[in-house]
Amino acid sequence: MNDKTPCRPSDVINYMKIHHDVNVSYDKAWRGREIALNSIRGTPKDSYVMLSTFSDALIRNNPGTYTAKEADDEGRFKFYFMALATSIDAWNYCVPVISVDGATMKNKYLGTLISACTIDGNSQIMPLAFAVVDSENDLSWSWFFRNLKVVFGEHNEMVIVSDAHKSIENGFNVVYEIAEHGLCAFHLLKNLKKNHKSLPMEDSFNKCARTYTPLEFEYYMRQLEQLSPSMRHELEAVGRHKWARAFFRRKRYQVITTNISESMNSTLKEQRELPVIGLLESIRSLIQKWFYERRTKWSFQRTQLSIYAEDMIRESLRQSRSMNIYPVDQHEFEVHHRKEQFVVNILNRTCSCRQWDLDLIPCSHACIALSTRNLNPIYTLISSTMSQI
C-alpha cells in the first residue's frame, strides 16, 4: 500500500482473505487503512503542523524566503513549495532560462521532488526553487508553476526547459503567457535512440540541436535523414522551434538540456530517502554551503567578468589570430576564416555566426573586429548576467 494506490476498505478485506485467509469486518478494515495511511503520510495534524513550523523557522532565519503549501480534503499536506531568499536574489544575475524536472522520492511518502534550476554567470548550477508534490500530474505542475511565477515573475526573455512530460507542458500553458517552453535535447535523443536502435545518430543530432544557424542545422539534419528518412519526420513533428537553438524563439544560452536539473537530483539522491522535512532542511543547508563557497571564491577574484565569460573571450581572442578582417564601414566588418566569411556589426553586437547574438559573449569574429577598433571585448560585455554576483 502507498498513498498513490487507491485503497478502499473492501480492498483490505479482499487482501486479508486472499493472502492470509482471514475474515476482516468493514469497520476493522477501515480503521486499519487509516492507520496505514497515517504511517505513510503522517497524521494530518502532524505533517501539516510540522511543515508550518518548518516554514516559520525558515522564513524567520532567511528573511525574503518564499514558501507555499496546500493540503488535501483531509488536511494532509499535498504540495509544498520553497524558494530561499538567496536564490531569489541570485535570479537577477542568472540567465533567464529555467530547467525543471521531477524526481521520485524514496522515503515512505513516495512523493515527487520538483526542482527548478538555472545557471549563473559562471555557468554553475543555481538552484531556484523546490517543491514536494504527491505525484506528477497537471494539477501539481500547474501549482508549482504558479508559485514559481509569483517568485521569479515572467518576462519575454524567459524560457522554461523540461522533458516532454505532458503535465509539464499543460501546467506551463495554464500559467505562463509570454515565457517560452523549450524541450530538453537529451531526452529527445534518448527517444530517437529507442526508435532507431543501432544507428549512429548522436553526433549529428547534438550538432543539429546546438548549432546557431539554420544553414548548419539543415546540414546536420540531412546527415540524420541519410541515416533514416523517418528521423527528420519525427524531429519535425516535435517542432524544431522547441529543441533546436537555431530556431528557438528566445536565447537558450547553454541550457539546451535539463542536465542541470538532473545533476541537482543526483546530488540529492541520498537526501530523497529522508522524510519531507529532513529533505527540505538538507536542501536549505546545501544551498547555504554553495553560496558561502561561491561568495568566498568571488571575493578573491579580480576579473571584470565571471571566470567563465573571461575564459570564453580569451579562447575567442586566441582563435581570432588566424583570421583576416576587412572593414566595410565604421561598425561593420567582414571576417574571413579558412573558406568561411562572417559579417560582424559591433554597434548592434551581432555576427552572422549568431553566437554573439544568442550567447551575448563576443565570438572570435567579433573579437577580431573589436580589437581592430582598439576595443576590449571584455568591456563590451555590459551584461549583468556575466558579471560577478
Please choose, out of 60-68, 181-189, 225-233, 347-355, the segment that lies near Zn ion by the rule CB under 5 A: 347-355
| Cell numbers that stand for 356 in this block | 554573439
| Alpha-carbon span 27 to 8, nearest angstrom | 12
Is the distance from CB of 50 to CB of 113 less than 8 angstroms? no
Interface stretch with Zn ion, choices 18-26, 137-145, 194-202, 340-348 (CB under 5 A): 340-348
Length of the chain: 389
> Which residue, 294 or 349, has its beta carbon nearer to Zn ion?
349
Selected range binding Zn ion among 32-40, 154-162, 237-245, 349-357, rule: CB under 5 A: 349-357
Give the nearest distance from C-beta 71 to Zn ion in angstroms: 54
DSSP assignments along 112-140, one per residue: EEEEEEEEBTTS-EEEEEEEEESS-SHHH
> Grid coordinates representing 368?
577580431
Range in contact with Zn ion (rule: CB under 5 A) among 69-77, 187-195, 249-257, 335-343: 335-343
Q: How many CB atoms lie within 10 A of CB 58?
A: 18
CB nearer to Zn ion: give 309 or 353.
353
* Minimum distance of Zn ion from residue 377's CB (angstroms): 12
Specify whether the CB–CB gap between 117 and 264 falls below 8 A.
yes
CB atoms within 10 A of CB 67: 18
Nearer to Zn ion, 297 or 318 (CB): 318
**Selection from 51, 110, 55 nearest residue 83 by Cα:** 55
361 binds Zn ion (CB under 5 A): no
Site stretch for Zn ion (CB under 5 A), options 71-79, 221-229, 334-342, 379-387: 334-342
CB-wise, 243 or 342, nearer to Zn ion?
Answer: 342
CB of 210 to Zn ion, least distance (A): 15
Minimum distance, C-beta of residue 347 to Zn ion, in the bound complex (Å): 15
| Contacting range for Zn ion; rule: CB under 5 A; set: 17-25, 234-242, 357-365, 367-375 | 357-365
Single-letter residue type at 244: A
Q: Is 353 in the site for Zn ion (CB under 5 A)?
A: yes
| DSSP, residue by residue, 215-276 | HHHHHHHHHHHHH-HHHHHHHHHH-HHHH-TTT-SS--TT-SSSHHHHHHHHHTTTGGGS-H
Nearer to Zn ion, 364 or 388 (CB): 364
User: Cβ of residue 55: shortest distance to Zn ion, in angstroms?
Assistant: 49
Is 246 among the residues that bind Zn ion (CB under 5 A)?
Answer: no
Q: Does 351 bind Zn ion (CB under 5 A)?
A: yes
Q: How many chain residues are in contact with Zn ion, going by CB under 5 A?
A: 5
Residue type, 168: I
Residue 312's contacts (CB-CB under 8 Å, 6 or more residues apart) are 361
Taking the complex as a whole, how short is the minimal distance between the CB of residue 352 and Zn ion, in angstroms? Answer: 7
x-or-dash pattern for Zn ion, window 362-381, by CB under 5 A? -x-x----------------
Query: Closer CB to Zn ion, residue 116 or residue 353?
Result: 353
Amino acid at 215: L
* Distance in Å, CB of 343 to Zn ion, minimum: 9
Radius of gyration of the chain (CA): 26
Of 75-83, 102-110, 161-169, 336-344, which part binds Zn ion (CB under 5 A)? 336-344
Pick from 147, 132, 139, 188: nearest CA to 168: 139
Sheet with 350-351, strands from edge to edge, namely 324-327, 332-337, 340-345, 350-351
User: Nearest to residue 381, comparing CAs of 81, 366, 328?
Assistant: 366
206 versus 213: smaller Cβ distance to Zn ion: 213
Contact positions vs Zn ion (CB under 5 A): 342, 351, 353, 363, 365
